[in-house]
Structure formats: C-alpha cells, structure tokens
Structure 1
Amino acid sequence: MSDRYQGFVSTSIGQLLVKNLGLPNPTALERWTDGAPLVDGLVVLGGSGRLADVLPTTLDGLGIASARELGEGARAKALVFDATGIEDTTALVELQEFFTPLMRRLETCPRVVVIGTPPEQATGSQRVAQRALEGFTRSLGKEVGRGGTVQLVYVAPAADGAIASTLAFLLSPKSAYVSGEVVRIGAHGPTPTDEVADWSRPLAGKVALVTGASRGIGEEIARVLHRDGATVVGVDVPQAASELQTLMAELDGDHLVLDITVKDAPQRIAHHLRTHHGGVDVVVHNAGVTRDKKLANMAADRWSSVIAVNVTAPELITRELLDAGVVNPGGRIIGVASIAGIAGNVGQTNYAASKAGVIGLVDSLRDELGDGITINAVAPGFIVTQMTAAVPFATREVGQRLNAMSQGGLPVDVAETIAWLAGTGSGAVNGNVVRVCGQMMLGA
C-alpha cells in the first residue's frame, strides 16, 4: 500500500515545499531481502568497555565488516559504541567525541547501536552514567534522520557471549521501523549463548504457532517465520478458514480453525500441537480486535470482546501450553501488544487495557520460566494495513507522520522483530517489550 505523501515529497515540487515550509520529509526505508547481506557497508566501532574485543569477532561471524576508524572520504553504514566502560558522568563526553565527527559521514538508512551495562546491575556513579545513555540514544534517534535508527542495548556481564542475534537484527534492514529502543540482554533468567548453525534459517526444525494468521500482520509473521525455517501452525476463526488454509498450504504449514476465546481453546491448541508436532517452539499471540468507543459510550460487549481476544485468551493459552509441557525447552513466547497499551489512545480504553495486559503477561512470567524458555512482546505503532486504510485521511496522515521517520511501518517490520525474538540465538533476550513504531514523538 503506497504512501501518497511520501511519493509527492520525492518530486521536485514536493522537495521545494518541504524546504520552504518545513514539512516532514520521509526517507524510503531499506528493508532486508532474501540473500542480501545483513549490513551493506562498514560498521565503525568505538568505546573501550568490556565488549571491545568481543564485538569485532561477533560481527565477523555474522559476515559484517567492521573497523575502529573510518578512512578519509569514506562513509559508515553503522556505528557501534561500547559504553560499558563509562564509569561516571564525566566520561559521557566519550559519546560526543566518538559520534560528533561521524554523524555527517553516515550513509542513507544508517544504524547506530550503543551498548551499556544494565543500570540495575551497576552502583554509584556508574549507575548514574549508564542510565544517562537512554536519554542520549532516544534523542539521537530523533536527530539522525535519513531513515536511520538508534538503539541502546544493555548487556548483563554474564551475557556478553549472547549478543550476536540482537546485533544481526539491529544493524540490518530487518529493524527498519524500530528506533529509540532499549533492549536488555541477560537481565532476566539464564543467559545461554545459543549457537546458530545457519543464520539464513535460524528457525530450521522449529514449530511456530501464530494466532490470527490468515491476513495482515499475522500473515506476514507466518511468512517470515517460514522463511527462517519454521513449520508454521496458523490459527484463526472459522470466518477466515479459507484464507488460512490457502496460506498454510502455500507455506507447507498446518492450520487449526477455532475461536481462541472459547472455553476449551487452550486445551484444543495444546492437544493439536502435542499430537501433530510433538510440541511447539515458538508461540506468537497475534490475534486481536478493536471495538473503539469513548468510555462514556462503551457498551459491555465492546469491552468484554476486546479483553477476551487480546489478553485473556493469550494468557490462558500460554499457561496451558506451559503447564502441559507443550512448549519445548528453549521455546519462545511472543505477544503482540501496541503503542496504545503504553501511551493510550482516545476511544481505546478497552484496547489499550488489553494491550497493556499483554505487557503485564511478559512481566508476570519473565522470571518464572525455566528450560531456557523466554517471553517478550512487540508493541506496533502505526502499521499500514487494510484496517488503517479505512481510517479517515487526516487522522491517518497525522498517525503516520508523528514519529522520527515521518511514515507508517509495514507488517513485515513487526514480523522481522518477532523473528528476531523467536530466533535460537535470542535465548538471553527475555522480558523485553520492543516498540515497532519508528520512534513515536508523543506519549511513548
């Protein structure tokens, strides 16, 4: 679905108006295509923390070229700064010294990653300085422009060997619409250094359950997980049975037609996965509905149906799969929340409550899971789908522009984020809520 405004401002007349009126000027985002390198260019490394020696080796293993300096006249595709060695606030000047000379030497759609130590695992002046990194990266994300992204990755000392999967995602075009994020590695639970045999198919041999899989974001999730090697089991309501069956046949997957809110849905899903697949490795709670009204006009059925689909069913299904031992060791549970669950939205008290509840599910389980199982969530912002196409033009335009990239995201942006969290190399990424919103300017 094309962005007509973006197409207009790419014309000579559009560029003239952008320059004279200060209009948003979105850059066409680079997105990863099958067979392309993770990073098409050079990554420049900075900082002298505990990961300084680990980073070059890790990037080399991913097929990513890196260097400590940028040659004269050359440009960088990405910058990675190891800030784990910053012990007090006076040392924060190292950020300015590294980044300022390089910011005008970045290619289009660059990637910037700062790596720190979780403040909660630091003390005294170091804790102050490490917390300061969040303000730095979130501000830089709103400055970098030209389709660029900026992230902060807090790595617990015990997880230094578990960063490859996260760097592969954040430095590549797979993270096109993720910016201004704080990702924690090794903050909750064990920190395995999962080896990935084939980075082009990190889910080979895995079984992935995707609810609401027949169309929109759910369809794209199914496609990307299949691309990465998973056998996909799609779930959707009877009304979507034909589309679901067609998609799963195309992906050589399996399907289960049922309403996830019926009383025995968790048991039926668990039975199907155990009987037909011997268990499940990835669980993606994508199914969701909206029934928007201001609370003063909210009928009881509008409230209850949204809560039932969006948060009660995921909670009950998750607990059944865990209690019945259907989730295999090293399994990944991923919920689809929403920016509405973080920032709120007018007319969406029911929807926002349900999506905040998905985040609550992550919080409630992240420290309880064993066998290397992780739980995370993604929180999409304005994603261009058939549903958002029906939004009034003015509202849609405002929704797309109020982020650092001045444009809406695509379903594949959500799917790629989920694929990273689902990957076998992401065993130390647990308890995170990752926004896929182009770094919204307001409320989150």
Structure 2
Amino acid sequence: MTDTYLHLVNHGATRTVAKKLGLPRPPVLRRYEPGAPLVAGPVLVAGRGPDADAVAQHLAGPPAEGGWDLAVHRHADDGVRYAAVVAVLTEVARPSDLADPALVVGGVLKGLLPGGRVVTLSRPALPDDGPALAAARQGVDGFLRSLAKELRGGATGNGVVVAAGVPVTAASVLATLRFFLSARSAYVDGQLLEVDADVPAGPVVADEARPLEGRVVVVTGAAQGIGRAIVETLVRDGARVVAVDVPAAGEKLARVANAVRGTALQLDVTAADAGTRILEHALARHGRLDVMVHNAGITRDKLLANMAPDRWSSVLAVNVEAQLRITEALLESGEFVDAPRLVALASTSGIAGNRGQTNYAASKAGVIGMVRATAPLLAPFGGTANAVAPGFIETEMTARIPPVTRQVARRLSTLQQGGLPVDVAEAVAFLASPAAGGIQGRTLRVCGQNLVGR
C-alpha cells in the first residue's frame, strides 16, 4: 500500500506547492541499505563520567579492536551538524543532574542532520532506589519520549535502559545502541528498550552484515505482508528459513520460500500437532531449529456488544493459543537449546487498546505476557523470548481501512506516516540476532511513536 500524500509532498512540483501552502510534510525515512554507513556524519557523545568515556571510546575505536570507527565529538562544536547524539545518563543521581546533558542535546537539535538519531543510555528506576535517584532515572523516560516528539526530518529518539550490574559496554547494550543509531530502526521512535543481562553475544559472527549466518528460523504467517518481509530480511541477514502458512495460501507461500531458497510448510498453526510438525520439518530439511518467529495472526473486529463467540475464540486461538502450544512443544523437545531465540508479534492494540478490538487486543496483550514468562525458561540455554508490537503498518490489511480513517491513522504518530513491513522485520531480525542475548522478555514497539499508549 502506497502513501500517495507522502510521495506528493516530497517530490517534484507538488513538493513546492506543499511548502508554499504550509501543508504537513511527513519525512522520507532513512532505511537500511547494505553497505551504507551506520551514520552519515559526526556523533556527539554527551555526558560525563567513566560510562560516557567508555561509550565514546568504543564508537570512535578502530574496527580491529571492536570499535565502530565513527567521528566522535565529546563537546558540542559550533557550526557542526551531527548525524547522531548519544546521551549517556547512567550516572545521574538527582533530577538536577539531567540539566547539563539535556541542554547540550537541545543545543544541537536544530542542526541535526535529516534522519538523525538521538539515543539515551540510562539505568532503570528500582524499588529500592532512594527517592532522588529514582526520580532522576525515571525522569530520563519522560525526557526521551518528549524529545522524540520534537524531532523533525525523519530523526528519531530512543533509549537503552541498562539493568543494574550490566556495563555499558556489554555486547547487548552496544548491539541495541547500534540498532537505534542505524537505519534499521527507521520506524522505531520514542521507545526505551531494557537490556537485562550481561551475557555472551552468542555464536561468533564472522560477518556483521550477516549476523544470522548458519541459523535456522521458522516464520509463521509468511505468505504475505509482514511475514514475507520478515522472511526476506532474515535471509538477507544470513538465516535459512522455513516459511509457514495455511494451505489456502500455498501458492503465495511457495513463491516466498522459493525466492529466498527456503522451504515451505503448509500448516494451520492452531492444529494440535503444529509444534511437532514445525520441528520435524526444520530438523529434516535443515538439521536444526534456532529461531521461532510467531507472526501468524488474524483480526475479527467488532464492538464487544456485538461480538459473536466464534469471532472471539478464533482470534485468541490463532494469535496466542497457537503460539503457546508451539512454544511448549519446542521447549519439551530438547532440540531448541542452542542460544534459541523466540520473537512474537504483539501489537500496540495490546498495549493501549483499540475500539472494536477487544478480542485482538486481549490476544496481543497475551503475547506480551507470554514472552515475559517464557524468557526465564529459555535463559538456561542462552535463549531469549521477546515481542515486537507494530503500530500502523502499510499492509493489505490496513489497505482495507476506509480512506479517511486510514489517512488519520497514518498521521497519528510523531513520524506522521505508516510504517512498512520491513520496519517490523528489522526489529524482528535484531531480536533474533546473537547480540540481542541480554534482552529478555521485552516488547519493542515499531510504531513511529504512535500517539496512543506509551
């Protein structure tokens, strides 16, 4: 589905007309292209103390020593336009400590390059923190989310929340920082993602452009839309993929699988033996199973007062009950034990609710609860379980929304547009990667900072 308005106000003669009339101009987002630089310009690292120094050193360090070879500035220089700002706030102790770094960031925002990035690193507020420390740490949350709403030109603001005892140079902290700085996070905005543990990054990655090399991934609901984009993105990152969808989508499924040299499995995920069949297929065709992506989902929208039993039960059956059964089968098999990754598709409806979607919202909130409870079960094997919660994404499903409602939904985000299936796929690929091993039981919104929920 194409956003015609976005195209018109950014190209040709209509772009000039839109500027003269003062019409809203949603930006063209900077999305990932293989071989493109991580950021296209200098990076300002704001903040004081050993953590800020360590982050700056890593970002500027030579690749031979694990660094990123970026042009890092430790002080804001007049006239310099920055591609990214990293505010290291892990050592704030009182709310007043936020003043200096916040104002440093504010001083360079007008010159932030299009598609720029602002990323905070902070610590979570804990129940046993003193009042001043808790206030300072929680204050970062409000600061970051509000800052993200002020950015323009396709720039985004996100935060890495580093759990107590985890160093800022831990593999998953740096991987999350890199994801937020990169064009892979084009439609992730105003989000704070917690890194829960300092764990090894997982299997050694020989090629950073292909972090899933040698890994076998199953993707359900793979025949079209977000599922197809997930398949294509995971294969781009080196994975071998088993694409799963219902028999009725068999032709589309075969085309998707053939295009990436994967294998196709026609299967109703609600079948009692779905988990067993998925595992048997993966082992028979590829010899292993490393990542399970629960993407299959349906909607049967209706106001609750008009909700028929089958509308309710079918949505819960596909969207969460099937995931539970398949995951249970994998856990019981003894085959899902090599730093496994489970990534499930939730929704912003499961976080904020949505009129006419009580069944869908219940199922997607259930997914969020499922990954939170599943993560500790996978942790002994070096595994993780996390969720991705899309907002308004341009798919065949959203194309069926009435035109006026669709336009309103597109503009109800800080980025003033719907996301693309690839935006969701990039988040899934990140959480499926070896370097995301310290992120456990979390839900990452991919919604352009939609103005609902948090």
The TM-score, its normalising length taken from structure 1, stands at 0.95
Q: Distance in 1 between matches of 2:250 and 2:385?
A: 28
* Contact preservation (8 Å) 1:401, 1:408: yes
In the TM superposition, 1:225-304 aligns within 5 A as 225-304=234-313
Counterpart of 1:26? 26
Show structure 1 runs of 5+ residues with no match: none
* Contact preservation (8 Å) 1:193, 1:427: yes
Counterpart of 2:178? 168
Counterpart of 1:424? 434
Q: Distance in 1 between matches of 2:102 and 2:245?
A: 50
Q: Does 1:339 align with 2:348?
A: yes
Q: Does 1:13 align with 2:17?
A: yes
* Contact preservation (8 Å) 2:385, 2:440: yes
In the TM superposition, 1:350-389 aligns within 5 A as 350-369=359-378, 370-389=380-399
What CA deviation, in whole Å up to 9, does each residue of 1:110-164 have, x standing for no partner?
1000101122287212222111100000000100121111112111232432222
Counterpart of 1:48? 48
Q: Distance in 1 between matches of 2:24 and 2:451?
A: 13
* Secondary structure of 1:330 counterpart: coil
* Contact preservation (8 Å) 1:49, 1:86: no
What percentage of residue pairs aligned between the two structures are identical? 46
* Contact preservation (8 Å) 2:304, 2:358: yes
1:301 Cα deviation (Å)?
Answer: 1.1
* Secondary structure of 1:252 counterpart: coil
Counterpart of 1:414? 424
Instruction: Give the paired residue count.
Output: 438
* Secondary structure of 2:440 counterpart: coil
Q: 1:53 to 1:325 in 2, by over 3 A?
A: farther
Q: Distance in 1 between matches of 2:185 and 2:17?
A: 31
What CA deviation, in whole Å up to 9, does each residue of 1:89-108 have, x standing for no partner?
12111233321211112101
Q: 1:346 to 1:402 in 2, by over 3 A?
A: same
Q: Distance in 2 between matches of 1:178 and 1:250?
A: 28
Q: Distance in 2 between matches of 1:54 and 1:328?
A: 33
* Contact preservation (8 Å) 2:373, 2:441: no
Q: Does 1:186 align with 2:190?
A: no
* Secondary structure of 2:319 counterpart: helix
Q: Distance in 1 between matches of 2:313 and 2:37?
A: 46
Counterpart of 2:136? 129
* Contact preservation (8 Å) 2:76, 2:104: no
Matching residue's letter, 1:13: V
Q: Distance in 2 between matches of 1:375 and 1:241?
A: 29
1:363 Cα deviation (Å)?
Answer: 1.7
Quick check: 130-139 or 68-77, which moved more? 68-77
Q: Distance in 2 between matches of 1:48 and 1:27?
A: 33
Q: Distance in 2 between matches of 1:192 and 1:422?
A: 14
* Secondary structure of 1:209 counterpart: strand
* Secondary structure of 2:113 counterpart: strand
1:71 Cα deviation (Å)?
Answer: 4.0
Matching residue within 140, 145, 149 for 1:142 = 149
The TM-score, its normalising length taken from structure 2, stands at 0.93
* Secondary structure of 1:443 counterpart: coil
Q: 1:64 to 1:115 in 2, by over 3 A?
A: same
* Contact preservation (8 Å) 2:56, 2:72: yes
1:368 Cα deviation (Å)?
Answer: 3.0
What CA deviation, in whole Å up to 9, does each residue of 1:67-93 have, x standing for no partner?
213444221000001101111112111
1:49 Cα deviation (Å)?
Answer: 4.0
Across the aligned residues of Structure 1 and Structure 2, the Cα RMSD in angstroms comes to: 1.6
1:265 Cα deviation (Å)?
Answer: 1.0
1:168 Cα deviation (Å)?
Answer: 1.7
Q: Does 1:153 align with 2:153?
A: no
* Contact preservation (8 Å) 1:109, 1:147: yes
Q: Distance in 2 between matches of 1:112 and 1:122?
A: 29
Matching residue within 203, 208, 211 for 2:217 = 208
Q: Distance in 1 between matches of 2:265 and 2:396?
A: 24
1:336 Cα deviation (Å)?
Answer: 0.3
* Secondary structure of 1:120 counterpart: coil
Matching residue within 104, 107, 131 for 2:110 = 104
